[in-house]
Amino acid sequence: MRHSRHPLWKFGRFLRDANFSHFVVSVVVILVIWSITSATIDNPGRYLPSPLAVALSSVDMLYKGILPSYFADTIRRLVLGSIIGLSLGIPFGLLLGLNRTISDMFYPLLNFFQSISGIAIFPIIVIWWGNSDKTVLAIVLYTSFFPLAYTVLSGVREVPMKYIHAVRTLGATRFQVIRDVLLPGAMPSIVTGTRLSISFAWRAVIAGEMLAGREGLGWMIFTGQDADLTTQVILGMLMIGCSWIILDHYLLRPLEMDTIERWGLVQR
Amino acid sequence: MSIPRNIAMALYRRFGRQRLRRIALGSIPFIVLITLWYMNGIFHWLPPVFIPTIYSVFEAIFVLQEGCAGIVEIVALDNNCLMTTNIFSSLGRVVLAMLVGLPLGIGFGILAGMNRTVSKFLEPIGIFANSISGIAWVPLAIVWFGVGWMTTLFIMLNTIFWLMFFNAMLGVRGISRTYEQSVLTLGGSSWDVITQVYLPGAMPSIISGMRMSMGFGWRALIAAEMIGGDSGLGFMIFSSAEEYKVEEVFLGVLIISMIFLLTDRYLLMPLEKWTSNRWGLVWRPA
């Protein structure tokens, strides 16, 4: 059955999948309710433009090239912020986790800063650096760093002592314990923390663009509301939602699942 | 026996060696940070426009509360008592959103957990609504409801409802069917199944959902108040920042995190622990 391996055939099976048909039905139902509501209320252009109007505005914005450039700006900020956040947060969490005294020392501090949301310190950062790209990047780093360091730290600490004892009994050095037991043992929490921190970073990018007034999807919906362009607001929200779902379901979640399957200390 | 030694012994007996060590170690970074902050006030490494002195942050309480006559005005949310008025209006919104959002989310969640068809239709909507983060709804909410109570309430409900929905649904799904079937075999109605099996069985998951929705909801509220609010702590820090009153911003941030930490530590965490002890379907060896 060679044709069963053809991508088109696979895609057809995906369409016939029960979950997918439910998904399509609920999307269609929402679109119908949305169109009916927008047709019955007064002044739909201001309160709830019809799906068709939103689609047309997306064509218009694509044609003018605004939408791709905003989208690229947002993604660029997310990627830059996540890369810096990950490369700072993971080593920091690991370092704290390796030494019990140091981890006991910094655990409450991490806990405290995790409870101050990035959005709450936003006004302070704006006073420091004004409405600049630096402000948005600082907010993204702040929101992604603490949850990540916290998760990695608890991951290292949750590696069962018996594995460490076993390796040490067999004569392993301290470095070997770190490389062969602690790092692989903490791998699932590192990946979980990565996903968590990227999801926080995504929110922070949107919020930062809205409040600091830098071009991007967040700015697009914020100025859309100011200029009474509700189609632009809804279009931006749809873009934000869809791009996160795609990023999460097709990149981050498979990565997390594979890592947990490969490295997770699940006892069977 | 000297007095410090007595105090040390009392602390030792009260907390035990391990916890005492952890408390002592954990307070070191805070002490260092506060000392640095205090020294910055003396040596002005960074100008007070960027980092206010500790004393001016403390003073900001009285600046904000200036002209506040007493308890009556505080309770009446008078505009002269800016700090307490903003604290209470934020807290009031949280309570209101919880009162509306929790029953709705739990109800729909249990329904979706019981019935596969309902969950298959509601789940994609929930995933999508969750992925549009709370703050992205603010512009649309302002268009619909204007600036004020309704907008902030809408943003919070949006966050709370879907979190509770997913937690209740997953909680119900995690219950083994044996319990449901045994209640039905013993002649219970489907209402009995809901009240005797689903609700208690999903309770640990519901309570941790409550803790999560408090965390995310509080963040969403602060964000919503900044853009779409006319009072509240988020509004306070945002409007203070526009006037470059950095000490009021610091005070506001400290209050926000304190309120969150206290409610989480002393209200929701004990509740979570108690529920999973009382109702969690965890097998404990005797």
What's the CATH code of the domain at B109? 1.10.3720.10
List the pLDDT tens digit at each of the 268 positions of chain A: 455 556 666 666 655 565 677 778 888 888 899 889 888 888 887 888 888 888 888 888 888 888 889 999 999 999 999 999 999 999 999 888 888 888 888 888 888 888 888 888 888 998 888 888 899 999 999 999 998 998 998 888 888 888 888 998 998 888 888 888 888 888 888 998 999 899 889 989 998 998 887 888 888 988 888 888 888 889 999 889 889 888 888 888 888 888 888 876 654 4
B222 to A210: CB separation less than 8 angstroms, yes or no: no
B147 touches chain A (CB under 8 A): no
Say yes or no: B19 and B144 in one domain.
no
Q: Contacts of residue A123 in chain B, CB cutoff 8 Å?
A: 226, 237-238, 240-241, 249
B125 to A112: CB separation less than 8 angstroms, yes or no: no
Q: CA of A223, closest CA in chain B: separation in Å? A: 9
Q: What are phi and psi of A159, to 5 degrees?
A: -65, 125
Residue B167 CA, distance from chain mean position: 16
Domain annotation covers residue B167:
yes
Say yes or no: B180 and B264 in one domain.
yes
Which B-chain residues 179-218 have CB contacts (< 8 A) with chain A?
218
B26 to A108: CB separation less than 8 angstroms, yes or no: yes
B50 to A26: CB separation less than 8 angstroms, yes or no: no
Domain annotation covers residue B83:
yes
The residue whose two tokens read 């697009």 is A220
Closest CB to A225 among B27, B135, B139 = B139
Domain annotation covers residue B269:
yes
* A55-263 carries CATH number 3.90.660.10: no
Domain annotation covers residue B199:
yes
A127 to B127: CB separation less than 8 angstroms, yes or no: no
Domain annotation covers residue B76:
yes
Token representation of residue B277: 């002890």
Do residues B235 and B149 touch, judged by C-beta distance below 8 A?
no
Nearest Cα to Cα of residue A259 among A199, A157, A187, A152: A187
3-state secondary structure at position B138: helix
Token representation of residue A96: 């704290």
Q: What was the pLDDT predicted at A82?
A: 93
Q: What ipTM was estimated for this complex?
A: 0.82
Say yes or no: B82 and B221 in one domain.
yes
String of DSSP letters for A81-126: HHHHHHHHHHHHHHHHHH-HHHHHHHHHHHHHHHHS-HHHHHHHHH
Q: What was the pLDDT predicted at A148?
A: 92
**Which bin fits B188, alpha (ψ -120 to 50), beta or left (φ > 0)?**
beta
Say yes or no: B14 and B91 in one domain.
no
Q: What was the pLDDT predicted at A80?
A: 93
**Which bin fits A229, alpha (ψ -120 to 50), beta or left (φ > 0)?**
beta
Q: Which residues are CB-contacts of B196 (< 8 A; sequence separation ≥ 6)?
A: B183, B188
Say yes or no: B27 and B120 in one domain.
no
Q: CA of B219, closest CA in chain A: separation in Å? A: 6
Do residues A135 and A75 touch, judged by C-beta distance below 8 A?
no
Q: What was the pLDDT predicted at B7?
A: 82
Domain annotation covers residue B283:
no
CA–CA separation, A171 and B202 (whole Å): 47
Q: CA of B128, closest CA in chain A: separation in Å? A: 6
A210 to B241: CB separation less than 8 angstroms, yes or no: no
Neighbours of B107 (CB within 10 A): 13
B257 to A112: CB separation less than 8 angstroms, yes or no: yes
Say yes or no: B207 and B111 in one domain.
yes
Closest CB to B143 among A23, A128, A233 = A233
Say yes or no: B108 and B22 in one domain.
no
Q: CA of A2, closest CA in chain B: separation in Å? A: 33
Q: What was the pLDDT predicted at A1?
A: 46
Token representation of residue B58: 């403390």
**Secondary structure letter of residue B66 according to DSSP:** T
Domain of residue B39 covers 3-45
Q: CA of B267, closest CA in chain A: separation in Å? A: 15
A123 to B241: CB separation less than 8 angstroms, yes or no: yes
**Secondary structure letter of residue B45 according to DSSP:** S
Token representation of residue A146: 């603490």
Residue A116 CA, distance from chain mean position: 19
CA atoms within 13 A on the CB side of B156: 30
Say yes or no: B25 and B134 in one domain.
no
Closest CB to A221 among B129, B134, B136 = B136
Q: What was the pLDDT predicted at A11?
A: 61
Closest CB to A120 among B136, B227, B256 = B256
Closest chain A residue to the Cα of B223, Cα to Cα: A119
CA–CA separation, A205 and A143 (whole Å): 10
Query: Total domain count for chain B?
Result: 2
Closest CB to A104 among B25, B131, B219 = B25
Q: Contacts of residue A206 in chain B, CB cutoff 8 Å?
A: 133, 135-136
Closest CB to A123 among B133, B143, B237 = B237
Q: Contacts of residue B263 in chain A, CB cutoff 8 Å?
A: none
B81 touches chain A (CB under 8 A): no
Please report, for chain A, the start and end positions of each structural domain, with discontinuous segments joined by +: 3-42, 55-263
Say yes or no: B79 and B38 in one domain.
no
Say yes or no: B41 and B183 in one domain.
no
Q: Contacts of residue B143 in chain A, CB cutoff 8 Å?
A: 46-47, 225, 230, 233
Q: CA of A179, closest CA in chain B: separation in Å? A: 27
Closest chain B residue to the Cα of A247, Cα to Cα: B131
B257 to A230: CB separation less than 8 angstroms, yes or no: no
Q: Contacts of residue B30 in chain A, CB cutoff 8 Å?
A: 108-109, 112
String of DSSP letters for A9-58: HHHHHHHHSHHHHHHHHHHHHHHHHHHHHHHHSS-HHHH---HHHHHHHH
Closest CB to B140 among A126, A237, A245 = A237
- The list of chain B residues with pLDDT below 70 reads 1, 280-286
Closest chain A residue to the Cα of B32, Cα to Cα: A109
Closest CB to B139 among A27, A126, A221 = A221
Closest chain A residue to the Cα of B131, Cα to Cα: A241
Which residue out of A92, A104, A219, A247 would a mutagenesis test of the B interface target, given it has the greatest number of B Cβ atoms within 10 Å?
A: A104
In degrees, to the nearest 5, what angle opens at C-alpha B185 toward C-alphas B184 and B187?
A: 65
Residues across chain A: 268
CA atoms within 13 A on the CB side of A22: 13
Say yes or no: B19 and B141 in one domain.
no
Q: What was the pLDDT predicted at B281?
A: 58
Q: What was the pLDDT predicted at A14?
A: 59
A122 to B226: CB separation less than 8 angstroms, yes or no: yes
